[in-house]
């Protein structure tokens, strides 16, 4: 069995389950509270807190795990990154009270107290920027620390910045940019479970790749094919298919980045395309 540690609740839980389901590794559990559940085949999920996952993977309780890069780095455990899962995007930032007037590290001194649930990353960061501060570890909700007088500055996670704003805090620096990662113990990719880990990475990566792309089909004038190829580069150029009784039209199929879809459709119409179809792709293995 390949045991994969998966966040059981919190911000990363839903996206992780969604990704695994899309990759055909859906949770076959008897109840929501089960600690382990089959994911099909050789894969088994171990449902635990995101925070504990770096330890569990490093100690061998799980062969791989999904958790935030922030938590991996804070743990200080040497883990190998197999894949950036692109969700759970956030930044670990330094923020000071708005009314303190502090807008940069220059305003911090030996007496500055920094509340954070990331004491290791915070200490490392302030050493790097040569500021001696006092780090006050808290287990969460660091943003309230300045209000209750236990710190002047926080090192906390933010994605939209709204929690910081609501709490009257102003960002003065970035410690780390984070997304969810699939990690394993060092050397595991060369160990006895290498083949299964590789299959897992291939499956998850194929879903991530497919999510940002669409499959486009259109009937285009044969005479415009050369220009169509410029509009629809596809993976290896578009597939061109004859249409029975198609007259001057041929069918072209290609994979297109979602971000440029609008332009591609406009360009195709400009070249006389008809019957343009756009479909989602479940998985894409290049």
Cα separation, 100 vs 97, in Å, equals: 5
Instruction: Give the range of 39-47, 66-74, 93-101, 213-221 binding ligand AMP by CB under 6 A.
Output: 66-74
Pairing of strands 113-116, 249-257: unpaired
Nearer to ligand AMP (CB atom), residue 47 or residue 105: 47
Q: Which of 6, 25, 46, 90 binds ligand AMP (CB under 6 A)?
A: 90
- Cβ at position 85, least distance to ligand AMP in Å: 11
Confirm or reject binding of residue 52 to ligand AMP (CB under 6 A). Answer: no
| Distance linking the first and last C-alpha atoms of the chain | 27
Nearest approach, Cβ of residue 92 and ligand AMP (Å): 9
d(CA 66, CA 43): 14
Structure-block tokens of residue 202: 């291939």
From the CB of 153, what's the least distance to ligand AMP, in Å? 18
Contacts of 68 (CB under 8 A, 6+ apart): 12, 50, 88, 90, 178, 179, 180, 181
Site string for ligand AMP, 103-142 (x = CB under 6 A): ----------------------------------------
Yes or no: say if 66 and 179 are a contact pair by the CB < 8 Å rule: no
Mask of contacts with ligand AMP, 240-269, x by CB under 6 A? ------------------------------
Q: Is residue 88 within the footprint of ligand AMP (CB under 6 A)?
A: yes
Q: What is the DSSP letter of 282?
A: S
State the pairing for strand pair 134-137/113-116. Answer: parallel
For the window 147-186, what string marks contact with ligand AMP as x by the rule CB under 6 A?
A: ----------xxx------------------x--------
β-bridge mates for residue 177, sequence order: 91
Number of residues interacting with ligand AMP: please give it, by CB under 6 A: 14
Whether 153 and 102 have beta carbons less than 8 Å apart is answered as yes
List 19, 25, 39, 50, residue binding ligand AMP (CB under 6 A) = 50
Which parts of the chain fold into alpha helices (H)? 13-22, 53-59, 69-75, 119-128, 162-166, 194-211, 225-231, 261-270
Positions 11 through 40 that interact with ligand AMP (CB under 6 A): 11-12
Q: Which chain residues interact with ligand AMP by CB under 6 A?
A: 7, 10-12, 50, 68, 70-71, 88, 90, 157-159, 178
């Amino acid at each position: 069995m390949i045991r994969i540690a998966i966040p059981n609740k919190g911000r990363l839980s839903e996206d992780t389950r969604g990704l695994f389901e899309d990759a055909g590794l859906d949770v076959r559990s008897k109840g929501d509270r089960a600690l382990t559940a089959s994911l099909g085949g050789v894969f088994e999920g171990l449902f635990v807190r995101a925070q504990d996952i770096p330890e569990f993977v490093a100690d061998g309780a799980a062969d791989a795990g999904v958790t935030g890069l922030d938590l991996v780095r804070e743990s200080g455990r040497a883990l190998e990154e197999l894949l950036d899962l692109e969700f759970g995007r956030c930044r670990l930032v330094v923020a000071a009270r708005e009314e303190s007037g502090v807008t940069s590290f220059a305003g911090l001194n030996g007496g500055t107290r920094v509340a954070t649930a990331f004491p290791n990353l915070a200490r490392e960061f302030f050493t790097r920027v040569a500021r001696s501060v006092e780090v006050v570890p808290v287990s969460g909700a660091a943003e309230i620390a300045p209000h209750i007088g236990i710190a002047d500055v926080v090192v906390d996670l933010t994605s939209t910045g709204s929690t910081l704003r609501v709490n009257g805090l102003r960002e003065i620096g970035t410690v780390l940019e984070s997304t969810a990662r699939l990690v394993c113990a060092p050397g595991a990719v060369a160990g006895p479970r290498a083949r299964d880990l590789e299959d897992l990475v291939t499956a998850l990566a194929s879903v991530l790749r497919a999510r940002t792309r669409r499959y486009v089909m259109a009937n285009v004038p044969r005479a415009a094919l050369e220009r169509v190829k410029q509009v629809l580069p596809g993976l290896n150029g578009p597939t061109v298919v004859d249409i029975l009784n198609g007259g001057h039209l041929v069918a072209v199929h290609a994979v297109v980045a979602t971000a440029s879809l609008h332009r591609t459709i406009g360009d195709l119409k400009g070249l006389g395309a008809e019957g343009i179809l756009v479909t989602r792709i479940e998985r894409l293995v290049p």
